[in-house]
């Protein structure tokens, strides 16, 4: 009955071995009664008399002594005494101290074979038999001589299959499980829950470990999803994804034999609230995993996420957290950065700090950069919850596959646009959806199905009531919960121009951590395609897929982030019956893989696939429960008769009271159905009892936490969005051909229309106007046509500024090419002498002015696109923007009345004036004429008039002089004779026939520098206005 134990830290470090030679060893805090004593301050989770290790029938057995927080053997909580094995790990309480079994004697007649090789004997003088000793070994005592540890031989193990396949013997150090042909254990390609390389079983330190390979559906051991490499024991069940194949690990050398009734136990779970005996009988503390609800009870503990690991500082001041294996706390999931955060000891206390991660660190629902945390705080990173206890240990909890949704007294009011006041679309709806359920929301048209699902998923806050996701108020913690929620609206939220792979690739780039590698993205995309049945359409354009296949792509988009709950609004609308059946079965499969799926539908053919259905009538809840119970409750023979049964009283009332009373009758009947359901056992069992146990309450209209991308996050989004947007536009080659063919055609038309001897105003006006047109027309539909995509991505993590900047970059590139293709031919005509278009520095300043103008046009177009509700409306508004550019730009003459003020607000006026100023041409009118030019600042018209006036004045003087001379006498008294050539006829100047070296005028209120500044201000003003409109839309 000799045994050697050693206390083992979480880090794997072992303290000095302790030798015992007695039939019973007590663990606990009471130094008077226990053999192994733990300090109360350091280990508050250990009870006074916690557990007993005793010699029983030739083997050592560990038994819990009704401790407050349980005893664990190899990670499994004891429900009955269990036999220990060499290298077994005993843990006292959740995150409590651990004792490793180093060696023990085996009775000769024991049927429990520890090893085929006998251990070396312990020296006789080291043994202290209990019968010969007058006293027991002191607590934490160690024999004077260290016994020789039993050598651990290789353990034979095999995997047994539930489908009758031949067992797989594990002979190497590593075994891969998956669908890839190069895996050691290959599963059929039809096994949708199994990833290509799903998990690995490996041998480390003499024990078998199983590690999930970041598979899509996860790996479960004894029904619990694992997040870190987990030790396997004899008869453990391995499941590859919820609903996937179940394997049995067989290794008798690692078995945990039960004494008495053999009862399978799961992994340790931490309750969300201390049981009463814990509060009364000891001061033991466990991690408290609660949300912002008040109250609760024992049933609330069932919602607590699974404790997957705990970590200690062990003399260090910092614990690193991230996806990389070198972190102190490694968390799997591609939404988690390689170096995501750290927890460190500071003078102010325990501090959590975000290390520039993509998806952030949240404390109590709010995103933080640095914050001191206490045991009362919850730190959320991806789908993991971190808590610290009073002795500065960090517990990590996995919230995946445990997502529960509760709605409490939801009501939605909207404005009545016809008669004033409000209209109530939903009234007092309370529901409770348990984890991994497939829920259908049913009802006739106008029942409030879409309104309810929008309130549940965070799209539109309810007017009153609350929505909770795993105890957290959705609208107060929306930013931290967004990664757990998937949403597929009625309209497709995908670009039809992209292939299926590229669609998912860009979604992964936007939503996953920015340090995720291309290989990891390819892996998750391949797994999502396998799950959604799109593998064979990998490179097919979305626009070429059928309606059902496009719906699968929309679902695959949401599955990229592996959400815990998925909402779908009428996903089968418009599908044929066969396609609808396949899509519904896909939703059923997704629910079976560990996700809660909630969808609205009006189709009755596949209602039996739901676990539960919600039936609405006129915004009121009239039934919630299993589909079969709905038939019995409403007295319907089949599901197609459900709505008929609900509306029979309405139709009967209309026949008696007339059609004008239909609305009033419908409200009355719906209220009667609601009151009737409240009195049913289903309501008590499925709604009232779960909500009552959770103690819910409060208002759902909480503060909205700002989602901060940071500079690098915003730049990354901008680059990804720009790449996607450019790929979308350049996939439509016909549209691009039309866009780029416009410019040279317009240049040719300008050349044909523009006379060689005319003033150059028209060509500069045409260039300015066309630049405005290029920008406005190309951008006017670009936001509105992506409305559904923008709204969905905005719900997740899309920044408004990166989104708008991507539009400006790509559209700016397009209008730059268009401008060049217009300007270069016109300049060519100038250089070869076919059509003068003067400009300094080969026209480069004029081209710059044209680009500024086109940029203003793009910003105007985007502003219009953000305001309108449809693409058609945007197209209709473009002419209303261009016509003022023509009328008030100054082409029709010098503005001198109200049109001068209006012209100051027209971009084309500033652009037109800038073009003319950069031409260096003099003017026909006096306004803007060059002071030192050939017209001396008068303009050609005034200059010619002035010169002619001077000539006429001189002629008049000459005539007057002649008149004086003609009346005089010479010296001899004879009349003076006037020479014939003494009179000169004045030369009258005429307008030249070639006016190509002139422009009509320059605006007196403008100049080169001011014009460019004004165009820039207009551009920035329109961009800012668009940002404001998009931000305001977040609230509606």
298, part of any domain? no
Rounded Cα–Cα distance for residues 421 and 616 (Å): 24
Same domain? For 571 and 534 the reply is: no
Q: Which helix (H) or strand (E) holds 612?
A: strand 612-617
Exposure string of 63-97, with b = 16+ CB inside 10 Å and e = fewer, is: bbeebbbbbbbbbbbbeebbbbbbbbbbbbbbbbb
Give the pLDDT band (50/70/90) at residue 968: low
Give the pLDDT band (50/70/90) at residue 693: confident
**In a 10 Å sphere around its CB, with 0-12 CB exposed, 13-18 middle and 19+ buried, how is residue 958 labelled?**
middle
804, part of any domain? yes
Per the listing, tokens 């971009």 go with 907
Select from 87, 104, 121 the last residue of a domain. Answer: 104
pLDDT at 277: 27
- Express each pLDDT in 347-357 by its tens digit: 889 999 999 88
Instruction: For the chain, give the percent of residues with pLDDT over 70.
Output: 86
- Structure-block tokens of residue 525: 């995309």
611, part of any domain? yes
Nearest to 778 by CA among 801, 810, 805: 810
pLDDT at 710: 74
Q: Mean pLDDT, to the nearest integer, of 267-282?
A: 30
Same domain? For 749 and 790 the reply is: yes
Checking if the pLDDT of 200 tops 80, the result is yes
Select from 666, 693, 720 the last residue of a domain. Answer: 693
Nearest to 916 by CA among 885, 890, 881: 890
pLDDT at 269: 33
- Express each pLDDT in 434-452 by its tens digit: 988 999 999 888 899 999 9
pLDDT at 926: 84
Give the pLDDT band (50/70/90) at residue 466: very high
Identify the bridge partners of residue 92 per DSSP, sorted by sequence position: 71
Same domain? For 734 and 807 the reply is: yes
Sign of CA dihedral 790, 796, 800, 803: negative
Same domain? For 842 and 809 the reply is: yes
Same domain? For 517 and 567 the reply is: no
pLDDT at 958: 79
pLDDT at 967: 61
Checking if the pLDDT of 128 tops 60, the result is no
Nearest to 222 by CA among 247, 192, 197, 199: 247
Counting Cα atoms < 13 Å in the Cβ hemisphere of 848 gives 17
pLDDT at 974: 66
Mention every residue, 6+ apart, whose C-beta is less than 8 A from residue 983. Answer: 958, 959, 962
- What percentage of the chain's residues is helix, strand, coil (to nearest 5)? 35, 20, 40
- Express each pLDDT in 719-736 by its tens digit: 999 999 999 999 999 999
DSSP string, 702-745: -PPPP---HHHHHHHHHHHHHHHHHHHHHH-HHHHHHHHHHHHH
Mention every residue, 6+ apart, whose C-beta is less than 8 A from residue 769. Answer: 882, 885, 886, 889, 908, 912
Identify the bridge partners of residue 73 per DSSP, sorted by sequence position: 76, 90
The answer to whether residues 408 and 696 touch, using CB atoms and an 8 Å cutoff, is yes
Instruction: For the chain, give the percent of residues with pLDDT over 90.
Output: 40
944, part of any domain? yes
Here the CATH number for the domain that contains residue 459 is: 3.40.50.300
141, part of any domain? no
437, part of any domain? yes
pLDDT at 1004: 79
Q: Mean pLDDT, to the nearest integer, of 192-201?
A: 88
Give the pLDDT band (50/70/90) at residue 950: confident
Per the listing, tokens 């593998």 go with 535
Same domain? For 773 and 871 the reply is: yes
Same domain? For 906 and 954 the reply is: no
Which has more confidence, 271 or 606?
606
**In a 10 Å sphere around its CB, with 0-12 CB exposed, 13-18 middle and 19+ buried, how is residue 374 labelled?**
exposed
Same domain? For 810 and 903 the reply is: yes
- Structure-block tokens of residue 665: 């009758």
- Express each pLDDT in 729-758 by its tens digit: 999 999 999 999 999 999 999 999 887 788
Pairing status of strand 207-212 against strand 219-221: unpaired
882, part of any domain? yes
Checking if the pLDDT of 935 tops 50, the result is yes
- Express each pLDDT in 572-625 by its tens digit: 888 888 888 888 988 988 888 888 999 998 878 889 999 999 999 999 999 999
pLDDT at 255: 54
- Structure-block tokens of residue 19: 């030798």
Q: Mean pLDDT, to the nearest integer, of 966-980?
A: 62
Query: Whole-model pTM?
Result: 0.74
Same domain? For 11 and 71 the reply is: yes
Same domain? For 190 and 79 the reply is: no
Identify the bridge partners of residue 237 per DSSP, sorted by sequence position: 248
| Residue span of the structural domain in which 72 resides | 3-104
Which has more confidence, 513 or 702?
513
Cα–chain center distance at 928: 56
Here the CATH number for the domain that contains residue 81 is: 2.60.200.20
Q: Mean pLDDT, to the nearest integer, of 169-184?
A: 90
- Structure-block tokens of residue 780: 């006017």
pLDDT at 552: 92
Per the listing, tokens 């009271």 go with 657
Please state the φ and ψ torsions of residue 55, each to the nearest 5 degrees.
-85, 125
Select from 660, 693, 726 the last residue of a domain. Answer: 693
Q: How many domains does the chain have?
A: 7
113, part of any domain? no
Mention every residue, 6+ apart, whose C-beta is less than 8 A from residue 521. Answer: 334, 505, 508, 509, 512
Q: How far is CA 336 from CA 360, 593, 709, 967, in A?
A: 9, 22, 15, 113
Question: Which DSSP symbol is given to 48?
Answer: S
Checking if the pLDDT of 136 tops 90, the result is no
Same domain? For 910 and 947 the reply is: no
pLDDT at 456: 94
Mention every residue, 6+ apart, whose C-beta is less than 8 A from residue 789. Answer: 493, 494, 495
Which has more confidence, 921 or 273?
921
Give the pLDDT band (50/70/90) at residue 695: low
Identify the bridge partners of residue 201 per DSSP, sorted by sequence position: 175, 210
Checking if the pLDDT of 467 tops 70, the result is yes
Same domain? For 501 and 596 the reply is: no
- Residues for the chain: how many in total? 1036
pLDDT at 725: 96
Rounded Cα–Cα distance for residues 804 and 1030 (Å): 10
Give the pLDDT band (50/70/90) at residue 482: confident
Give the pLDDT band (50/70/90) at residue 361: very high
Mean pLDDT of the residues in the chain: 83
Checking if the pLDDT of 873 tops 90, the result is yes
């Amino acid at each position: 009955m000799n045994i050697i134990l050693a206390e083992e830290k979480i880090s794997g470090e072992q303290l000095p071995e302790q030798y015992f030679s007695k039939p019973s060893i007590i663990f606990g805090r009471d130094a008077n009664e226990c053999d192994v004593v733990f300090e109360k301050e350091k280990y508050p989770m250990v009870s006074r008399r916690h557990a007993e290790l005793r010699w029983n029938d030739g083997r050592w057995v560990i038994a819990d002594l009704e401790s407050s927080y349980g005893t664990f053997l190899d990670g499994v909580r004891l429900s009955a005494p269990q036999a220990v094995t060499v290298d077994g790990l005993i843990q006292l309480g959740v995150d409590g101290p651990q004792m490793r079994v180093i060696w023990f004697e085996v009775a000769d007649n024991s049927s429990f074979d520890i090893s085929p090789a006998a251990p070396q004997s312990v020296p006789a003088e080291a043994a202290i038999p209990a019968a010969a000793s007058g006293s027991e070994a002191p607590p934490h005592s160690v024999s004077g001589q260290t016994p020789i540890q039993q050598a651990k031989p290789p353990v034979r193990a095999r995997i047994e299959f539930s489908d009758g396949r031949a067992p797989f013997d594990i002979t190497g150090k590593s075994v891969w499980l998956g669908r890839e042909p190069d895996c050691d254990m290959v599963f059929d390609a039809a096994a949708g829950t199994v990833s290509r390389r799903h998990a690995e079983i490996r041998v480390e330190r003499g024990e078998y470990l199983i590690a999930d390979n970041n598979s899509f559906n996860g790996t479960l051991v004894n029904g619990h999803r694992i997040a870190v490499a987990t030790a396997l024991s004899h008869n453990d069940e391995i499941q590859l994804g919820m609903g996937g194949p179940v394997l049995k690990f067989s290794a008798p050398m690692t078995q945990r034999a039960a004494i008495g009734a053999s009862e399978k136990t799961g992994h340790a779970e931490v309750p969300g609230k201390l049981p009463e005996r814990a509060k009364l009988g000891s001061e033991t503390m466990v991690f408290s995993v609660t949300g912002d609800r008040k109250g609760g009870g024992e049933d609330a503990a069932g919602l607590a996420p699974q404790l997957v690991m705990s970590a200690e500082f062990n003399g260090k001041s910092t614990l690193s957290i991230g996806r990389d294996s070198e972190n102190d706390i490694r968390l799997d999931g591609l939404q988690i950065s390689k170096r995501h955060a750290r927890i460190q000891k500071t003078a102010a206390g325990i501090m959590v700090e975000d290390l520039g991660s993509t998806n952030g660190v949240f404390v109590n629902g709010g995103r933080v950069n640095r914050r001191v945390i206490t045991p009362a705080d919850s730190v959320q990173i991806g789908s993991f919850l971190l808590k610290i206890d009073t002795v500065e240990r960090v517990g990590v909890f996995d919230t995946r596959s445990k997502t529960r949704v509760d709605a409490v007294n939801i009501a939605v009011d909207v404005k009545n646009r016809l008669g004033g006041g409000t209209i109530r679309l939903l009234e007092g709806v309370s529901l409770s959806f348990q984890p991994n359920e497939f829920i259908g929301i049913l009802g006739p048209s106008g029942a409030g199905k879409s309104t309810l699902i929008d309130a549940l998923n965070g799209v539109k806050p309810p007017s009153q009531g609350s929505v909770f996701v795993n105890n957290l108020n959705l609208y107060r913690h929306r930013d931290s919960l967004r990664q757990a929620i998937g949403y597929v609206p009625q309209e497709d939220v995908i670009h039809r121009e992209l292939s299926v792979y590229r669609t998912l690739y860009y979604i992964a780039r936007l939503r996953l951590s920015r340090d995720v590698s291309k290989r990891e993205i390819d892996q998750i995309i391949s797994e999502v395609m396998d799950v959604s049945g799109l593998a064979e359409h990998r490179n097919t354009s979305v626009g070429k897929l059928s309606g059902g296949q496009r719906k699968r792509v929309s679902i695959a988009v949401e599955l990229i982030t592996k959400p815990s709950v998925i909402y779908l609004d009428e996903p089968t609308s418009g599908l044929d019956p066969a396609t609808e059946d396949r899509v519904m079965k896909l939703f059923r499969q997704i629910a079976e893989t560990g996700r809660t799926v909630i969808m609205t539908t009006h189709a009755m053919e596949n209602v039996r696939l739901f676990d539960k259905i919600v039936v609405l009538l006129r915004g009121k809840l009239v039934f919630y429960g299993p589909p079969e119970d709905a038939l019995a409750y409403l007295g319907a023979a089949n599901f197609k008769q459900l709505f008929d049964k609900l509306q029979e009283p309405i139709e009967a009332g209309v026949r008696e009271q007339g059609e004008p009373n239909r609305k009033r009758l419908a409200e009355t009947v719906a209220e009667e159905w609601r009151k009737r359901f409240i009195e049913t056992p289903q309501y008590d069992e499925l709604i009232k009892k779960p909500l009552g146990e959770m103690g819910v309450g409060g208002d759902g209209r909480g503060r909205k936490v700002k989602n901060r991308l940071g500079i690098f996050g915003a730049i990354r989004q901008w680059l990804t969005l720009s790449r996607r947007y450019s790929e979308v536009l350049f996939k439509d080659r016909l549209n691009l051909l039309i866009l780029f063919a416009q410019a040279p055609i317009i240049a040719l038309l300008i050349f044909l229309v523009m006379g060689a001897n005319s003033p150059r105003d028209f060509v500069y006006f045409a260039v300015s106007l066309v630049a405005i047109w290029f920008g406005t027309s190309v951008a006017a539909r670009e936001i509105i046509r992506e409305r559904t995509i923008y709204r969905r991505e905005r719900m997740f993590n899309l920044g408004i500024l990166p989104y708008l900047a991507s539009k400006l970059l790509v559209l700016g590139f397009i209008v730059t090419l268009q401008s060049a293709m217009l300007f270069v031919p016109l300049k060519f005509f100038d250089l070869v002498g076919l059509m003068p278009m003067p400009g300094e520095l080969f026209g480069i300043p004029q081209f710059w002015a044209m680009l500024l103008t086109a940029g203003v046009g793009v910003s105007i177009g985007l502003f219009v696109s953000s305001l309108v509700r449809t693409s058609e409306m945007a197209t209709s508004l473009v002419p209303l923007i261009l016509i003022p550019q023509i009328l008030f730009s100054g082409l029709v003459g010098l503005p001198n009345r109200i049109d001068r003020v209006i012209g100051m607000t027209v971009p084309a006026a500033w652009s037109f004036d800038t073009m003319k100023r950069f031409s260096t041409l003099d003017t026909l009118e006096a306004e803007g004429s060059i002071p030192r030019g050939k017209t001396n600042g008068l303009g050609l018209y005034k200059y010619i008039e002035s010169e002619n006036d001077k000539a006429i004045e001189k002629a008049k003087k000459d005539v007057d002089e002649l008149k004086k001379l003609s009346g005089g006498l010479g010296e001899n008294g004879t009349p003076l004779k006037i020479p014939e050539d003494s009179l000169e006829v004045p030369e009258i100047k005429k307008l030249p026939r070639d006016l190509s070296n002139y422009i009509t005028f320059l605006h007196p209120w403008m100049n080169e520098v001011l014009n460019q500044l004004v165009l820039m201000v207009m551009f920035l003003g329109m961009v800012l206005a668009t940002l404001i409109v998009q931000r305001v839309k977040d609230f509606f």
